[in-house]
Structure 1
Amino acid sequence: MLKINALFISVLFSFGVCAQADIKMEDDLRPVWEVGAFAAVFNTPEYPGSNQNKNNFIASPYVVYRGKVVRVGDGSIVRAVAVDKSWYELDISMAASFGANSDDNTLRAGMPDLDFIFEVGPQLKMRIADFKFAQHGRSELFLNLQARAAFSTDFSGIDHRGYVFQPQLAYVQRGWLSEKTALSINLSPSWATEDLHDYFYQVDSNDVTTERQAFDAKGGYMGTNLGVSISFNATDDVRVFVGAGMSLLSGSANSESPLFAETSTYSIGVGMVWRFIQSDELISGR
């Protein structure tokens, strides 16, 4: 159980990492280490293609260490500076989604609950363009190639749920509207193996009802996500972010499943990162 809890904390930490990380440019100087807390509330679909959303709240401490060789929490979980080049970075990609109570979902009533899902795997991040603006700061365009293993957990055990491949085109701009305001836009199609599609869309014979026929899910295209987020400094030590996302699911491999209800879904989130302490020593942001 201790390992499960530690894993859960690391997933929450990854959310804090993403929110804490401002857009880094080559000439930035940042503290070698910093410690703070992260909190956010999200409204998201219960699963891809669901016709019901739910609210979730998360809170977590975060720690950032920017060493000369290894960096932890500096825009990713962990990465080696040795493979951090001017045009590419190799690090770890992480994603997570909240669980859902099937009894609260009209399409899944009577079926097993959906557990908390987390994904982890390597990411190749390639900078393909950068821009400078006279009045709106600087920006960069990235192509991120992400491959992750997916797992579900009810915090008493872990089950492997297949693999996800998710290329992502990401645009980030610092100085949008004001010096400390950052804008991020990303577009990411995703494909998954059959195990993960089974978890969301499979209907076995014992789950069949008069309104829910049997369905054998298959692997393949899952959908494309479009996300936009804005972050800004409320104070020198508190940074606020607001984000919204849309999932475009037309053409999904299992759109014929009786559990698949919507070809487009929406999510929103708002949160804050509060830095408690930081080192006096500074280091390059890259």
Structure 2
Amino acid sequence: MKISTRYLLLVLALLPLGAIAQEDITLEDDMRPVWEGGAFLGVFNNPEYPASNQSNTNVVPVPYFIYRGETLRVGDGSIARAVALDKSWYELDLSLAASFGANSEDNDARVGMPDLDFNFELGPQLKLRLSKFEFDRHGKGELFLNLQTRAVFSTDFSGIDHRGYVFQPDLRYRQRGWLSEKTALSISLSPTWASEKLHDYFYQVDQEFVTAQRNQYDAKAGYLGTRLLVSVSFNATDDLRVFLGASTSVHSGAANEDSPLFIDNSTYSIGVGMVWQLWESEQKVSGR
């Protein structure tokens, strides 16, 4: 997909990308800077859309900023959350997800169809802390259930279109001190259901796009797939944190697996990147 770099960076700067590589589980007695900023660089290889058998690789360089105020926190593991709604066993905040689009002329299944634009999702998230764990030699862990509902939008950076809604419960285990004090492990399992409008965007084939190899298809709402994600992050230096991540998505049983655009029951993604902390405040605040 042909995208102006400056607009892509502007949109991605809204993501809490710095938190991806800093997911090292803040403990009750941890003290963090009130604010910090720096640079994020990541390389991601992802399917062009759910159940596609083709993928694309994207390089994402963006600045990041985190603010930890007394009542509001921004970019500290989420887009924004009110500290007053951050209890020992639950948190209420905003979640955001994003995915790159695809040039249909480069995708065998979609040749002759409209391109898929850059997608972003925004909505509330209720994070339930189910359990805590302590290990003699491998730090501490936490198990969460995140209940996420997000509105989905697409943009070619000349306008924004609403593409429906997703519901995505996310069961996530995080462990700090897995291999060393500053090493973090994260494992999550996330089934996803979506409204008909989003399924239409990925899987609908209208009469004007029918070919000898692509029959007409009317998409419907329902189950989209389940993703298993494993990531590891660690400190390379005091100011540089590195992350590695890999995921697989299983689409067997999805609502629209009969679509001619539904190609592969299993897809894979990988990512690697780093966060470079350049500035931080002298004032510290509790990480929670």
The verdict on a shared fold, with TM-score over 0.5 as the criterion, is yes
Confirm or deny: 8 A CA contact 1:18 1:76 kept in the other structure. Answer: no
Q: Structure 2 length as normaliser, TM-score? A: 0.96
Q: Which amino acid aligns with 1:40?
A: G
Counterpart check, 1:163 vs 2:130: no
Please list every run of 5 or more consecutive structure 2 residues that lacks an aligned counterpart in the other structure. none
CA distance, structure 1, for counterparts of residue 92 and residue 19 of structure 2: 16
Give 1:55 shift: 0.5
CA distance, structure 1, for counterparts of residue 210 and residue 195 of structure 2: 24
Which sits farther off after the overlay, 164-173 or 59-68? 59-68
Q: 3-state DSSP class of the match of 1:211? A: coil
**1:71 corresponds to:** 73
**Taking every aligned residue pair, what percent have the same amino acid on both sides?**
66
Root-mean-square deviation (Å): 1.4
Confirm or deny: 8 A CA contact 2:229 2:248 kept in the other structure. Answer: yes
Give 1:118 shift: 0.2
Confirm or deny: 8 A CA contact 1:49 1:262 kept in the other structure. Answer: yes
Give 1:26 shift: 1.4
Alignment of 1:31-70 (within 5 A): 31-70=33-72
CA distance, structure 2, for counterparts of residue 15 and residue 108 of structure 1: 30
**2:267 corresponds to:** 265
Give 1:15 shift: 2.6
Give 1:25 shift: 1.5
CA displacement 1:111-156 (0-9 Å, x = unmatched)? 0000000000000001000000000000000000000000000000
Alignment of 1:1-286 (within 5 A): 8-11=11-14, 13-286=15-288
Confirm or deny: 8 A CA contact 2:184 2:234 kept in the other structure. Answer: yes
Give 1:6 shift: 8.6
Q: After TM superposition, where is structure 1 displaced by more than 6 Å over at least 4 residues in a row? A: 4-7
Q: 3-state DSSP class of the match of 1:107? A: helix
Give 1:7 shift: 6.2
Q: 3-state DSSP class of the match of 2:109? A: coil
Confirm or deny: 8 A CA contact 2:127 2:144 kept in the other structure. Answer: yes
Q: Structure 1 length as normaliser, TM-score? A: 0.96
CA distance, structure 2, for counterparts of residue 79 and residue 227 of structure 1: 24
Q: Which amino acid aligns with 2:37?
A: V
Confirm or deny: 8 A CA contact 1:202 1:217 kept in the other structure. Answer: yes
CA distance, structure 1, for counterparts of residue 9 and residue 278 of structure 2: 22
**Aligned positions, number:** 283
Give 1:5 shift: 6.8
CA distance, structure 2, for counterparts of residue 41 and residue 6 of structure 1: 14
Q: Which amino acid aligns with 2:11?
A: F
CA distance, structure 2, for counterparts of residue 241 and residue 231 of structure 1: 4
CA distance, structure 2, for counterparts of residue 266 and residue 213 of structure 1: 27
Give 1:276 shift: 0.2
